[in-house]
Structures are given as C-alpha cells and as structure tokens.
With several copies, the nearest count.
Chain A
C-alpha cells in the first residue's frame, strides 16, 4: 500500500507502474484523478490552497484503504494527495487500485475517494475574484459515502 501526502505533483504512469510491480495476477487497474477546476459554486477559482492535519491524515487514509481491502478482493492500492497552493488544471489526488477482476478495482477505487472526501482531514481554501473562502463540505459527498 502507498499512502502519501506531498506538495509536489505526481506522475500517474509511474504510480500505476509501481502499484502493479511485476505482479502477473493483476488483471485490472482502476484509477481516479481529482483535478482543480476553474469554477466552483458559480465562482471563478484562481488558486486553491490545501491544508491537512499531519499525522492524522496518513492514519485516516491507511484506515480507509484497509477497509477497502476488507470489503473487496484487491491486490494493492495507492493514494497520493497534494497539499499547498494549486491552480486550475493541477492534479490534487490520485487513487489507484489493482485487482484480478475489474469489479473489485472499480468499487474499491470509488469507495476510497468517497471516504477520503468525507473522512480524511484535508481542507480547501479558494482564492476567487471576491477574495478568499474556505470551501464548504458538500451534502453530495456525504451521500456518496453513505452509499457504501
């Protein structure tokens, strides 16, 4: 398992190659990339600053991946989340899951990002033409996590 919080960007191809290693049992890799959009809640986003709670973040992410392992037959998973100052089109988060069969990889990948969005201690502050604002949590994210 890889769980990382970093300011630097990540290379999706490299992370998927590391996730797969040389394991020939892997038949499926599902992945998700979250990206900074230039619009949020009807406002133009100029920059986004991500902060987290060091120490708790890694613990929360490992807990979410462990829960995914218990629920589905997956081979490995990687979660990489950036913090610091980002701009539209920047990558924020990568979740990648390997498994023998695709159903497990898709379900575990979507589960991990849904729980990351509602359980992992990250917060976004946006700079818009009207100034700075902390992003509000979304009901739709709570609903997405509650499905599982």
Chain B
C-alpha cells in the first residue's frame, strides 16, 4: 500500500484528506502515479491535468516525475506553496 496525502486546494477538490491505495504493478514513479490518479476522471482529471501546477513530495522530500514510488511510501500532492 501507498499512503496518499492531499493538501490545501487538492484536499477540498478531491473531498478527502488522503487514502491508502494499492498501486498497479506498472505504477512505479510519481509521473505514473499522477497519470493513474488522473484516469479516475472528474476532479482527479481536472486538478492533475498536465497544465496544472501540482507539487509532489515522497516521504516528505520534494519529488519529480521520475522519483520512484514504492510500497510503504507516503506521497503528498499539493498546489504551489503560499506561506510566509
């Protein structure tokens, strides 16, 4: 299982703060994970559309499309940050 965490606007749009998911075997990195979530349609498709600015952290470190995602990882999805 992979622990997904949705923050800020994404939590509002998806309507949940996170979920535990079993990833298909071919979903092994951040890019593939986003594509898999996008295939759910609805808010998933629109919020994670390729043009949208979405940031991803794997185990609390900033990740890129080719960052690996493995069983037991915590993967957070969030919009560009606006603190300070």
A/B touching: CB–CB < 8 A: yes
Question: Is the beta-carbon distance between A122 and B78 smaller than 8 angstroms?
Answer: no
Knowing A134-B9, A134-B79 are in contact, say whether A55-B84 is a contact too (CB < 8 A).
no
Structural contact, B84 and A123, CB atoms closer than 8 A: no
Count contacts on B: residues with CB < 8 A to the other chain. Answer: 18
Q: Flag whether B76 is at the interface (Cβ < 8 A).
A: yes
Q: How far is the CA of A103 from the CA of B76 in the complex (A)?
A: 31
Pick from A53, A56, A120, A136: contact of B84, CB below 8 A: A120
Q: What is the CA–CA distance of A117 and B84 in the complex, to the nearest angstrom? A: 5
Residue from the list A51, A93, A116, A117 in contact with B7, Cβ < 8 A: A51
Q: Are A92 and B84 in contact (CB under 8 A)?
A: yes
Which of A118, A119, A123, A125: most chain B Cβ within 10 A? Answer: A123
Separation of A59 and B76 alpha carbons in the complex (Å): 14
Asked whether A116 and B60 contact (CB < 8 A) given A53-B78, A123-B7, A134-B9, the answer is: no
Q: A56-B76, A137-B53 are in contact. Are A123 and B83 (CB under 8 A)?
A: yes
Q: Which residues of chain A from 111 to 148 have any CB-CB distance to chain B below 8 Å in the complex?
A: 113, 116-125, 134-138
Indicate if A84 sits at the interface (CB-CB under 8 A): no
Give the residue of B7, B60, B83 whose beta carbon is less than 8 angstroms from that of A59: B60
Contact A56 B60 (CB under 8 A): yes
Name the one of B7, B76, B79 contacting A137, with C-beta atoms under 8 angstroms: B79
Listed in ascending order, the chain A residues whose CB lies under 8 Å from chain B are 34, 50-53, 55-56, 59, 81, 92-93, 113, 116-125, 134-138
Interface residues of B, Cβ cutoff 8 Å to A: 5, 7-9, 12, 53, 57, 60-62, 76, 78-84
